[in-house]
């Protein structure tokens, strides 16, 4: 794992990454599946920048952007079908391992192309030929800002809006412990460049569907606490009648707010006996290692994994690992 760089300084993209970006003609940029604001914001920001450099980037994600992110300029250009495009380079953004690219990455079709990785997850497995990973940054979108500086690209309103959205959503409105003075400096610069912080907050963190509120209600009824770990369950049965919603977004951070809790997990049961586990923890913990050991990844205080098996057994396994982590810290 990489050592952290000084968070008060801009991060430096490797020279070979800048060279590769200048050299390509039609890169395929891939954001991770079940995309969040940082994935989509970074995807679009990089797309805008490469377009500005005279490239013809293809923007792709296995899953469509959530409705709350469709206000972002360029989001209508994101595709989930890239078979008809002859591309000459692959760039994975905000993805810590190749499975995060989902169905977009075609090992047969794409294996001979240069693969570039731009990400801020401490658990990144460096799966590209060129890997630019900065775990001290609050968002991949923050790295995109530093990339604009390195490429000498002027930041217009569209670019600023995409970058600020990634930073706002990954820091949950500048609340996470990686919200440094530099993060706020960049946010101010992006506002100067025309991004509306208020509009981004309203569209993303302050907007939920009624179905999501109902799912929160059902999941909150399941909340339990055991030796420092607070947890809730979102089963398939609980989502009956709540169309178009899978995850109780934001719930893990909310239940971690219990004074007694050091770590939190929400279990989301998926079809075909899979369970998605979303982890959050208070400073001093490291749940990235727990997630990584279970086949997932993330950040020291925000991580996740998806495990195959039955819900009760997976809950038991994951809770035992988390409790062990909390008791040993
Ligand atoms: Mn991110």
Cα 116 to ligand 1 centroid, rounded to whole Å: 16
Residue-level pLDDT at 93: 98
Whole-number Å distance, alpha carbon 54 to ligand 1 midpoint, is: 27
pLDDT at 2 over 60: no
pLDDT at res. 47: 98
301 CA from centroid of ligand 1 (Å):
13
Residue 6 has pLDDT above 80, yes or no: no
Whole-prediction pTM: 0.93
* Other beta carbons within 10 Å of 196: 15
Residue 250, by phi and psi: left (phi above 0), alpha (psi -120 to 50) or beta?
left
Structural domains of the chain in order of their starting residue, each with its CATH number: 15-203 (3.90.1640.10), 210-328 (3.10.310.30)
Which pLDDT band, with edges at 50, 70 and 90, does 5 fall under? Answer: low
314-319's contacts with Cβ under 8 Å and 24+ in sequence apart are 314/267, 314/275, 314/277, 315/231, 315/233, 315/267, 315/275, 318/265, 318/267, 318/277, 318/290, 318/294, 319/226, 319/229, 319/231, 319/265
- Distance between CA atoms of 72 and 65, rounded to whole angstroms? 10
Å from CA of 310 to ligand 1 middle: 29
Tens digit of pLDDT for each residue in 42-62? 999 999 999 999 999 999 999
Helix (H) or strand (E) holding 132: strand 130-133
Is the pLDDT score of 169 beyond 90?
yes
* Per-residue confidence (pLDDT) for residue 1, from 0 to 100: 47
Query: Could you report the per-residue pLDDT of 57-72, keeping only the tens digit for each?
Result: 999 999 999 999 999 9
């Amino acid at each position: 794992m990489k050592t952290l760089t000084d968070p008060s300084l801009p991060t430096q993209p490797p020279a070979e990454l800048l060279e590769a970006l200048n050299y390509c003609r039609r890169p395929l940029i891939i954001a991770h599946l079940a995309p969040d604001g940082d994935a989509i914001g970074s995807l679009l920001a990089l797309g805008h920048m490469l377009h500005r450099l005279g490239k013809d980037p293809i923007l792709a994600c296995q899953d469509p952007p959530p409705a709350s992110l469709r206000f972002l300029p360029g989001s209508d250009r994101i595709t989930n079908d890239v078979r008809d495009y002859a591309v000459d380079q692959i760039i994975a953004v905000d993805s810590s391992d190749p499975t995060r690219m989902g169905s977009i990455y075609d090992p047969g079709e794409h294996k001979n192309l240069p693969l570039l990785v731009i990400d801020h997850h401490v658990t990144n497995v460096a799966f590209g030929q060129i890997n630019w990973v900065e775990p001290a940054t609050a968002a991949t979108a923050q790295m995109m800002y530093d990339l604009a500086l390195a490429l000498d690209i002027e930041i217009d309103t569209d670019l600023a809006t995409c970058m600020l959205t990634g930073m706002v959503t990954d820091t949950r409105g500048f609340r996470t412990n990686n919200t440094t003075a530099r993060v706020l400096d960049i946010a101010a610069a992006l506002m100067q460049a025309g991004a509306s912080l208020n509009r981004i907050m309203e569209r993303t963190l302050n907007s939920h569907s009624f179905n999501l509120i109902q799912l929160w209600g059902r999941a909150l009824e399941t909340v339990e606490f055991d030796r420092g770990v607070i947890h809730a369950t979102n089963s398939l049965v609980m989502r009956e009648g709540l169309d178009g919603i899978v995850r109780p977004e934001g719930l893990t951070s909310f239940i971690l707010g219990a004074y007694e809790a050091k770590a939190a997990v929400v279990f989301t049961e998926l079809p075909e006996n899979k369970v998605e586990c979303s982890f959050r923890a208070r400073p001093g913990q490291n749940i990235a290692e727990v997630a990584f050991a279970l086949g997932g990844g993330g950040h020291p205080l925000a991580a996740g994994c998806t495990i195959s098996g039955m819900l009760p057994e997976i809950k038991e396994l994951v809770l035992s690992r988390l409790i062990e982590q909390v008791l040993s810290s």
